[in-house]
């Protein structure tokens, strides 16, 4: 059963039950009030008859004649009947089994339990169904000349019950109309209330088919509107996760393709030269050249394997951080960097300040080495490479600056992807594989730092690593 159908049925059923119970209670209450009023009137009339009889008892005692008693009592009863002849009033006066007076047009019941042990100071009443009529019997007792006369005042209350039946018939019509109208209104309301839910169901199916950018459009500010907003937020999260998974999957595919490509080239050279030297008698000079190529390509494979291992370990987050002064760490690495710069006829300048940074020293040395190595590859002979730093209130920034060929703007967004090369020919000629900056990015992420690039083609590049500052600043050293 659909949700709108549940709302529809569970709203109609209580309405029908409550409406019917309330209407029945109103009809019955009204009927009972009118019946009690008729009973009260009948008792009053009976009391009036009794009073009239009591008033003539002294006269009846004087004459002490049965015929005279019957005449007087008949006159009293006839007077009351004539006065109320349009109200279906009946009076019966009996003495023992003898009927003194009666204007009834129906057979009186043989068993009249209301007369059992009736005393002179009480009036009893009872309702009886006689044929298709309902009659109200009121009875009292009067003692005249040692004879007990029973006065029965009877009123036809059938119209009250007919009116109640008419009210039920009218109510049945009103009930049917009200239920139909209510059912129509609740149908429209239930469909309207669940329409946003239907939209979300359809949109969920659309999203499940792969259209993750679709969203539910709801204008209401109630709980369903909040549900729609949460649904859209969930869809956005799902879309982001799917895009992230696709991006990661694409990166893995590119990573594998790049590894395969990077391994293929040196292996082809090694296999080719090794086979050539194995199958051919060559002079010593040619042999030496071939061995040099094999050695060079093998070193390239070794470098590639080391960098891949570093990248894998970094992405697994294996790092133990401790507080180290960055300036001291750079001083420790400066001699080897100066030697490498001298080999390439470059000059290395350091201008750094003290700053305590939470770090893994070995990883930071790898980061500095890779940044300086990239700067050297981009620099021309006799160029200058600068390592400098600055500290702020909550950061420590390390910069490696070169004045080389620079990086075109369109390459900046992909610069930190594994195996990405701006100038593939130049990178390969210097035994590069495009992994250095990817390793630097991973190291920065491990330390909660961010890696920034500023570059102008033909003027040079500034690589900046901004660490969260853990303590202390200091003076400049050179």
Q: What is the pLDDT of residues 139-162, one digit of tens each?
A: 999 888 888 889 999 999 999 999
pLDDT (tens digit per residue) in 33-72 = 999 999 998 899 888 888 888 888 788 777 777 888 888 8
> Residue 420: what pLDDT?
61
Q: Could you tell me which residues come within 8 angstroms of residue 31 by beta carbon, excluding any fewer than 6 positions away?
A: 160, 161, 163, 164, 167
H-run or E-run covering 194: helix 158-208
- Across the chain, mean pLDDT equals 82
Q: What's the rounded Cα separation, in Å, for the pair 334 and 347?
A: 12
Q: Phi then psi for 99, rounded to 5 degrees?
A: -90, 115
In this structure, how many other beta carbons lie within 10 angstroms of the beta carbon of residue 387? 21
Residue 125 forms beta bridges with which residues?
A: 138
Q: What is the pLDDT of residue 273?
A: 80
The Cα–Cα gap between 185 and 177 comes to 12
Residue with tokens 């290395």: 348
pLDDT digits (tens, 9 = 90+) for 65-118: 788 888 888 888 888 888 876 668 899 998 888 888 998 888 888 888 888 888
What is the reported pLDDT for 236? Answer: 82
* Residue 60 confidence (pLDDT): 77
With b for 16 or more beta-carbon neighbours within 10 A and e for fewer, the 17-28 pattern comes to eebeeebeeebe
Show the low-confidence residues of the chain (pLDDT under 70).
85-87, 251, 254-255, 257-259, 261-262, 265, 304, 307-308, 310-319, 418-434, 470-478
At CB < 8 A and 24+ separation, what contacts does 29-37 make?
30/167, 31/160, 31/161, 31/163, 31/164, 31/167, 34/160, 34/163, 35/157, 35/160
Q: What is the pLDDT of residue 137?
A: 93
The 3-state DSSP class for residue 305 equals helix
Residue-level pLDDT at 86: 64
Residue 409 DSSP one-character state: G
Task: Calculate ∠ Cα 256-259-265, nearest 5°.
Answer: 140
Q: Give me the domains of the chain, ranges plus CATH numbers.
A: 3-164 (3.30.450), 217-318 (1.10.287.130), 319-477 (3.30.565.10)
Task: Give the pLDDT score at 448.
Answer: 87
């Amino acid at each position: 059963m659909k949700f709108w159908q549940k709302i529809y049925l569970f709203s109609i059923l209580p309405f029908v039950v409550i409406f019917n119970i309330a209407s029945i209670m109103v009809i019955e209450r009204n009927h009972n009030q009118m019946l009690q009023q008729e009973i009260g009137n009948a008792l009053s009339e009976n009391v009036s008859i009794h009073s009239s009889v009591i008033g003539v008892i002294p006269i009846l005692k004087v004459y002490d004649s049965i015929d005279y008693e019957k005449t007087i009592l008949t006159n009293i009863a006839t007077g009351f009947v004539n006065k109320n002849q349009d109200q279906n009033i009946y009076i019966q006066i009996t003495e023992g089994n003898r009927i003194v007076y009666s204007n009834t047009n129906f057979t009186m019941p043989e068993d009249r339990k209301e007369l059992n042990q009736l005393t002179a100071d009480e009036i009893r009443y009872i309702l009886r169904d006689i044929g298709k009529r309902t009659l109200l019997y009121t009875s009292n007792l009067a003692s005249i000349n040692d004879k007990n006369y029973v006065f029965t005042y009877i009123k036809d209350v059938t119209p009250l019950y007919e009116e109640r039946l008419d009210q039920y018939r009218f109510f049945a019509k009103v009930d049917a109309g009200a239920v139909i109208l209510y059912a129509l209104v609740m149908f429209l309301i239930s469909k309207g209330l669940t329409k946003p839910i239907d939209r979300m169901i359809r949109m969920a199916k659309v999203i499940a088919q792969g259209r993750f950018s679709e969203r539910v459009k709801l204008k209401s500010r109630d709980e369903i509107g909040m549900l729609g907003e949460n649904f859209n937020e969930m869809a956005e999260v799902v879309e982001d996760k799917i895009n992230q998974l696709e991006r990661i999957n694409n990166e893995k595919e590119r990573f594998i393709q790049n590894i395969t490509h990077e391994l293929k080239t040196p292996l082809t050279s090694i296999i080719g030269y090794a086979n050539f030297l194995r199958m051919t008698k060559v002079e010593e000079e040619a042999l030496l050249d071939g061995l040099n190529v094999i050695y060079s390509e093998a070193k390239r494979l070794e470098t590639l394997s080391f960098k891949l291992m570093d990248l894998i370990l970094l992405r697994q987050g294996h790092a133990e951080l401790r507080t180290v002064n960055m300036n001291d760490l750079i001083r420790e690495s400066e001699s080897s960097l100066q030697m490498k710069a001298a080999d390439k006829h470059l000059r290395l300048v350091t201008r750094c300040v003290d700053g305590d940074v939470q770090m893994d020293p070995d990883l930071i040395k790898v980061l500095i080495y890779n940044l300086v190595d990239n700067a050297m590859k981009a620099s021309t002979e006799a160029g200058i490479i600068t390592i400098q730093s600055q500290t702020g209130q909550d950061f420590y920034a390390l910069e490696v600056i070169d004045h080389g060929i620079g990086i075109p703007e369109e390459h900046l967004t992909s610069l930190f992807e594994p195996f990405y090369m701006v100038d593939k020919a130049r990178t390969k000629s210097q035994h590069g594989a495009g992994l250095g900056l990817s390793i630097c990015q991973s190291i920065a992420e491990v330390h909660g730092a961010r890696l920034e690039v500023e570059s102008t083609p033909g003027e040079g590049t500034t690589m900046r690593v901004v660490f969260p500052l853990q303590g202390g600043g200091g003076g400049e050293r050179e």
